[in-house]
Amino acid sequence: IMSRKFFVGGNWKLNGDKKSLGELAQTMNAAKVDPNVEVVCGAPSIYLDFARSKLDAKFEVAAQNCYKVAKGAFTGEISPAMIKDCGVNWVILGHSERRHVFGESDELIGQKTAHALESGLCVIACIGEKLDEREGGITEKVVFAQTKVIADNVKDWSKVVLAYEPVWAIGTGKTASPQQAQEVHDKLRGWLKTNVSEAVANSVRIIYGGSVTGATCKELASQKDVDGFLVGGASLKPEFIEIINAKA
């Protein structure tokens, strides 16, 4: 089995200003980070240029969302072409906040994924079940359905990272246990093996998101199918460095 490069994404969400994000970039640039980890910071769209200019080249930047076309009469939207024009190579799509706060459908997320990849962006594609879905015993059904819509729109899996984020664990302080995370990641890999290919199942990074902190990251990182993290609040703090170095 080929080794999968550990991947840590920071999702800044709707947080930060030039002062605090400039300071965060200085902290990250000065820190000793594991060179075997791919690090991507998800900045608010208005700060994409700023983040790209302040962070060292060893760190990648991501937009937190984009639209499904390159340009047009879509007030308030940004396109993969614009993201690339800012020197940014990644986009986060399908985050639970986009799905559940802003009402984005599976279909729209699939279309966005296809267009972002066709435009040459790499995609962090997010999936995950809500608390009532987990308690109802349909976690697998939900995440497999979400994964299928993404998979139907991917040609080159080397440009995709799959982020499993149980919605009940995001920003709640509840983290899925390392065993719970490993179980879903293992099942997702099985789904990819059956429905895409064994090569893709073995090579694609499946990362975990949901209240990842310096305290929880090491045990999560030790699980064999957890290939990294998508970090929310902690990505704005110096402890983000600890999370990047979880395997070191």
183-186: long-range pairs with CB below 8 Å, 24+:
184/139, 184/140, 184/143, 185/223, 185/225, 185/226, 186/225
pLDDT at 19: 98
- Nearest Cα residue to 95 out of 175, 173, 170, 17: 170
pLDDT at 196: 98
> At how many degrees (to 10) do helices 178-195 and 139-151 cross?
50
- Nearest Cα residue to 96 out of 138, 32, 142: 142
pLDDT at 175: 81
10-residue stretch averages of pLDDT, the chain, 248 residues long: 88 98 98 97 98 98 98 98 98 97 98 98 98 95 98 98 94 88 98 98 97 95 98 97 96
| Alpha-carbon span 91 to 78, nearest angstrom | 11
Output the six-digit token pair for 192: 């990819």
Catalytic residue among 97, 104, 129, 165: 165
Q: C-alpha distances in angstroms, 153 versus 18, 94, 149, 156, 202?
A: 35, 13, 7, 10, 19
Which residues are paired to 209 by β-bridges?
Answer: 230
Catalytic residue among 60, 95, 97, 129: 95
- Verify whether residue 165 is a known catalytic residue: yes
Amino acid at 32: K
Amino acid at 201: A
pLDDT tens digits for range 145-193:
999 999 999 999 999 999 999 999 988 888 889 999 999 999 999 999 9
pLDDT at 2: 61
For the purposes of burial, counting CB atoms within 10 Å of the CB of 165, is it exposed (0-12), middle (13-18) or buried (19 or more)? buried
pLDDT at 172: 84
- Nearest Cα residue to 130 out of 141, 121, 122, 119: 141
CA 124-127-129 angle, to 5 degrees, is: 160
pTM over 0.95: yes
- In the numeric block, the tokens 């040459």 are attached to 120
- Verify whether residue 95 is a known catalytic residue: yes
- The greatest distance separating any two alpha carbons of the chain, rounded to the nearest whole angstrom, comes to 48
